[in-house]
Structure 1
Amino acid sequence: MTRLSACLLWLCSSAALAQPALPGDLPLERGNGPEPATLDAHRCQEVACGNVLRDLYEGLVTEDAHGRLVPGMAQAWSVSADGRVWTFRLRPGLRWSNGTPLDAPQIVASFRRAFAPATAAPFGELFEALHNARAVQAGQVPPAQLGVAAPDTRTVVFTFDRSAPVPALLTLPIAFPVYLPGVARFGAQHTRPGHLVGNGAYRLAAWTPQANLVVARNPHFHAASTVAIARVRFHVTEDASAELQRFAAGDLHMTEVVPPQPLTSLRARFGDQLRIAPYLGAFWLGLNLTTPPLRDAPGLRRALALAVDRDKLTAHVTGLGEQPAHGIVPPGIAGYVPARTPWSALDTPAREALARRLYRQAGYSRRHPLVIELRYNTSTPHRRMALAVAAMWRQVLGVQVRLRNEEWKVFVGNRKQRVITQVFRGGWIGDVPDARNFLAAFGSDGPLNWTGYDDAGFRERLARADAATSPAARDAWLRAAEQRLLNADAVVPLYFYTSKHLVAPQVQGWHPNALDRHASRWLRLGSATPPAARSAARSAASPAARSTTGTAAP
């Protein structure tokens, strides 16, 4: 090949790289955190699977890009005067992603499957107001007695034992219709590509474990003509720092999180691609109350809580707008005034002095220190948080902390079993904007009560909140329940979340919302150069890229 031919070839290649593909041809590349533990909608209990399931399924009610409740499968609904009977009228012509009709009896059958004991749906507790929901999950009555019925093929009726935020609850994965013929034929494998049948804007096209998951536009979706992006690739991005580098290199359009870094440097580097907004979520450390050394040791638990400096954590470890937390329920829920730890008003010297006194009273000292394990799932932010808390406990009290890092699925299983855990990464992301959502798990011995907290007084306050006849009375009882939980030091509150994402300029339709949900159906890719093409074109055009020494990573 002549030098001229080689030069022309390089110019043509560079020009080809610099030409963006048409927006409609591009897949949306989304960082999604850890590998989804499941795509069984009724068994999902984490953000990673919820993000995907909201593309594959749609409930009777759904949310728009701003987080507002809008019609989903149901085109309209009504509620009885006492707030206990809800009637939903389905859109005409609903279909599954395989083209077969979807009607009200199938939705009812799916709800019965969700609450059957064999399903062990972790979010079943959120529907405890649904008539017979608890009894069905406990195997005390058959699923046919669940408070949901289909008087005709286009009507679904729910009966609740008390008022509840029903439309918001119906946006959760547990309320999505699962295709029961697929479950009957494939069992646990009904969630695999080629087997999974949904009813959402997308269908499952591919799943490469520990790498990515691809969904493609569902032509049978009732609003398929409004879905702008044909394919979406959800990437496994457990390491937040690596995810950021992939975004900077042009491999991702959106990140699931942003690793802890100084906000000023992130703003300088990414400008308005950095999206930070308030978020209904609380981060805390759970304490296993069912085994020593934390069982029957309220003073020791409080000493550990007192020894953490939340202001330092949010200023120097997280640093992206998080608020120091002294409670379980985050601010921002209409009408609710969150409770606070009974020692929240103490300054740092007084707080640390009290921590040391309680630590000594519990029988520990620097010569005879507490040795305890702090368990967290693989994540750069969680690792930094665990290291910081361990350092504070060591400095203030002399505690010896063993850090245990686990892959997400292993961590979730150990946390749920309450056998080997002592202190563990916990927290709650709001499912609905309701204070009860952050407290309900502590009121039963279900799979979400990771601490094993068991207190009749707490359950009584929840019950009184459920029986309240006014919103003000309900909020007052919920606050009393939260205060009792905090007084027992069952968890160590650390901070209230902000949502943190990097979003590429060509992603349109992305809006912050309190629950941080961003279904792909509301997004579009504009005409800006796609990340990978922009990165490749920049590298190809750079003189440094043509040298033998290469270029530095961004």
Structure 2
Amino acid sequence: MNKKIVVLLLLIVAVAAGIFFYMKKEDEKVAEEKVVTPTKEMVFNRGNGAEPGSLDPQISEGVPSSHIIRDTFEGLTAEFTDGSIIPGQAESWTISEDGTTFTFKIRSNAVWSNGDPVTAHDFVYAWQRAVDPATGSEYSFLLYPLQNAQAIANGEEKDLAQLGVKALDDKTLEVQLEGPAPYFLGMITHSVAYPVHKATVEAHGEAWTRPENIVSNGAFNVTEWTPQSRIVAVKSDTYWDKDSVKLDKVVYYPTESTTTELKRYRAGELDWTYEVPNDQINWIKENMADEFHVSNYLGTYYYGFNMTKPPFNDPKLRKAFTMAIDRDILTTNIVTAGEVPAYAFVVPGVTAYDAVYADFNGMTQAEREAEALKLYEEAGYSKDKPLEMELRYNTNDNHKKIAIAVSSMWKKVFGAKVNLVNEEWKVYLETRKQKEVTQAFRAGWIGDYNDPNTFLELWLSDSGLNDTGFNNPEFDSLLKQASLEQDAAKRKELLMKAEGIFLEANAVAPIYHYVTKRMVKPYVKGWQSNVMDHIRSQYITVEK
């Protein structure tokens, strides 16, 4: 072969090889860039406690549901990061001089996630739905300040149109109260007062909150609900204040085990925990103090007694078991984040109120236990003839530890045989509600607004959340009088007298007043502790 041709061929091969090598490197570079280029999506991975029972604003109960509904729906009023009340779907409102008529002007740009305008009629429908006995809302009592709300909820008034709320036009809502309620604007930040989309509810029935059906009006829209795994909500394109929302997505992780939740947080799967295991707090303080956040919380942890059946229909037995709990040991050795021993049900320090305490508050623990044993024996029991009972709690590591400790106290003081029973959250709530097999049970109440009424109205005889069966006409009357009283000092006296009656009945054993305790990654910004622990995701940014 001609030498020139050979050289030319070799040159062509070399050039081709060079081109191939260059293209291969460019492909590898592009692939590498694809791998390392970070996503622009801002996602907040939020631990959320137990599996929520429902995402229906009028039906839901429990804190895990509330966190999600507060992100996906919005009422007439809302809350800023510090918990202060701000305009929500209503851009403004006026209040009559006597404090009984509220007129709300709904935003012109308040829109449902399907594009329909939010109107005053949506609120009328939702509030009528909340007090309608057919709905079965456990929180209908929150709307009792409205004219005829209690009569409708109790079946005494059949006409829903008699409820004190009406649409003056599409964007104007008028609310008539039975009497002045200074907490009303805060109370309607609760989910029971959120609007719902009538056409969607009526078209899908109980299935209307499924991701494929739900229509909401909040900062985020639910797009996925995988039970016991996760719930996903994405930023709403129709929310009136969407430009201020920086997150693209919130992922809520239900995790009943606080130990498991902490492990997931440390592994980087969570940016935020619902709480922390009590037995890990000392380790956390020593090793992760910068990520551990504790703050005051408007709530009371307590044990309730089923007053409708033996053995705890006996007032002496209820008081004995209440007094025998050593709250100082529990808050020093079991819950150690700063919780305060409770001898009142209304959290001391609540707005416009003076604390009311149980009559054994000033006794030493030894004196309490001696008196408790005396009452126990007067109820017909002794260490030779002990009471055998059940103490029920929802599945949770912290609740279990407290239950074990309290059952040991009752065994030490009385010789009582205490069987611990735990149930998954939804089952547990239903069991408590039925009052058939419950004897003593764990519970907690977080104020829905900063006023003593939010703690006391729980124990009205017709309250849907009164799982003890406490029924006292004088108590009911005092709360009714307080709801109509315009004089702040007289109202306070009425409420304090009501709490005194409730504490004397020992329907519940207050154990401690809550603090919130959780882990938060340093890159989670925009949130602020508040006594309600209402942390709305719309204010949060994730700055990884």
Shared fold, TM over 0.5 = yes
Instruction: Give how far 1:21 is off.
Output: 3.2
Q: Is the 8 A contact 2:51 2:425 kept in 1?
A: yes
Quote the Cα distance in structure 1 between the aligned partners of 2:499 and 2:153: 26
Residue 104 of structure 1: how far off its partner (Å): 1.5
**Residue identity in the other structure for 2:123:** I
SS in 2 for 1:210: coil
**Is residue 2:343 matched to residue 1:326?**
yes
Deviation string 1:251-308 (CA, Å, 9 cap, x unpaired) is 100001111036442122212211100000001100000000111x111111101111
Deviates more, 1:128-137 or 1:101-110: 101-110
For 2:480 and 2:374, locate their aligned partners in 1 and report how far apart those are by CA, in whole Å.
36
Tell me the residue number matched to 1:261. Answer: 279
Q: Residue deviations 1:356-397, cap 9 Å, x none? A: 111111111111101110000011111011101000000111
- State which structure, 1 or 2, has the greater radius of gyration over its C-alpha atoms: 2
Q: Which residue in 1 is equivalent to 2:485?
A: 468
Is 1:100 aligned with 2:116? yes
1:461 Cα deviation from its structure 2 partner: 2.2
Please tell me whether the aligned partners of residues 280 and 332 of structure 1 are also in contact (alpha carbons under 8 angstroms). Answer: no
Q: How does 1:131-210 map to 2 (within 5 A)?
A: 131-139=147-155, 140-164=157-181, 165-210=183-228
Q: Is contact 1:376-1:411 (8 Å) kept?
A: yes
* CA distance 1:246–1:204, shift in 2 (3 Å): same
Aligned to 2:427: 410
Is the contact between residue 288 and residue 421 of structure 1 (CA under 8 Å) also seen in structure 2? yes
Cα distance, 1:234–1:360 mapped onto 2, change above 3 Å: same
Is the partner of 1:30 in helix, strand or coil?
strand
Does the aligned pair in 1 maintain the 2:461–2:472 contact within 8 Å? no
Quick check: 1:502 aligned with 2:519? yes
> Are 1:277 and 1:499, in contact at CA under 8 Å, matched by a contact in 2?
yes
Cα distance in 1 for partners of 2:475, 2:123 equals 34
Partner of residue 39, structure 1: 55
* Counterparts of 1:386 and 1:409, CA distance in 2: 19
Match among 79, 96, 121 for residue 80 of structure 1: 96
* Cα deviations by residue, 1:325-360 (Å, 9 ceiling, x for unpaired): 001011231221121110111112211111111111
1:301 counterpart residue number:
318
Quote how far apart the aligned CAs of 1:476 are.
1.5
Structure 1 equivalent of residue 436 of structure 2? 419
Q: Paired residue for 2:308?
A: 290
> For structure 1, which segment, 125-134 or 386-395, has the greater mean C-alpha deviation from structure 2 after superposition?
125-134
Pairing partner for 1:361 from 373, 378, 384: 378
The one-letter code matched in structure 2 to 1:47 is V
Task: State the SS of the aligned residue for 1:477.
Answer: helix
Where 2:45 maps in the other structure, the secondary structure is strand
3-state SS in 2 of match to 1:162: coil
Aligned residue among 227, 230, 234 for 2:252: 234
| 2:278 partner amino acid | P
Q: In structure 2, what is the equivalent of residue 117 of structure 1?
A: 133
Unaligned runs of 5+ in 2: 1-28
Counterpart of 1:430 in structure 2 is: 447
Q: Which runs of 5+ in 1 are unaligned?
A: 1-11, 529-554
Mean CA deviation greater in 453-462 or 361-370 = 453-462
Check the 8 A contact 2:42/2:249 in 1, yes or no.
Answer: yes
How many angstroms apart in 1 are the aligned matches of 2:70 and 2:395? Answer: 24
**Aligned equivalents of 2:255, 2:201: Cα separation in 1:** 29
Q: Distance in 2 between matches of 1:464 and 1:177?
A: 29
- 2:81 maps to a residue whose letter is A
Q: Say if 1:249 and 1:456 are closer, same or farther in 2 by CA, change over 3 A.
A: same
Counterparts of 1:349 and 1:16, CA distance in 2: 70
Distance, in Å, in 1 between the alignment partners of 2:439 and 2:279 is 29
Amino acid at match of 1:39: L
Assess if the C-alpha contact under 8 Å between 1:120 and 1:137 holds in 2: no
Q: What's the counterpart of residue 480 of structure 1?
A: 497
Aligned CA distance change for structure 1 residues 229 and 345 (closer, same or farther; 3 Å): same
Deviation at 1:85, TM superposition (A): 0.1
SS in 1 for 2:139: helix
Contact 2:395–2:424, Cα closer than 8 Å, also in 1: yes
Shift of 1:18: 11
Q: Which amino acid aligns with 2:306?
A: N
State the match for 1:310 in structure 2: 327
SS of corresponding position for 1:41: coil
The answer to whether the Cα contact below 8 Å between 1:445 and 1:452 also exists between their aligned partners in 2 is no
Partner of 1:5: none
**Which residue identity lines up with residue 213 of structure 1 in the other structure?**
I
Q: Distance in 2 between matches of 1:318 and 1:385?
A: 8
What residue number does 2:8 align with? none
In structure 1, how many angstroms separate the alpha carbons of the residues matched to 2:439 and 2:37? 52
The two structures have a TM-score, normalised by structure 1, of 0.90
Q: Which residue is equivalent to 2:472?
A: 455
Name the counterpart of 2:65: 49
Matched residues in 2 for 1:77 and 1:89: separation? Answer: 6
- Structure 1 counterpart of 2:305, one-letter code: L
Task: Determine the C-alpha separation between the residues in 1 that align with 2:56 and 2:163.
Answer: 20
**Which residue type is aligned with residue 375 of structure 2?**
L
- Would you say how many aligned residue pairs link Structure 1 and Structure 2? 514
Is the Cα contact below 8 Å between 1:31 and 1:235 reproduced in 2?
yes
Indicate the RMSD between aligned Cα atoms, in angstroms.
1.8
Q: Deviations over 1:121-173 (max 9, x none)?
A: 11111111101111222332311111111111111110001111221111110
Which whole-Å CA distance do the structure 1 matches of 2:479 and 2:270 have between them?
43
The answer for the alignment partner of 2:415 in structure 1 is 398
Range with bigger deviation, 139-148 or 320-329: 139-148
Query: Secondary structure of the residue that 2:413 maps to in structure 1?
Result: helix
TM-score, structure 2 length as denominator? 0.92
3-state SS of the aligned residue for 2:514?
strand
For residue 64 of structure 1, the aligned residue among 72, 77, 80 is: 80
Residue 234 of structure 1 aligns to a residue whose secondary structure is strand
Helix, strand or coil for the counterpart of 1:25? coil
Q: Provide the rounded CA distance (Å) in 2 between the counterparts of 1:17 and 1:421.
A: 58
Is the Cα contact below 8 Å between 1:322 and 1:495 reproduced in 2? yes
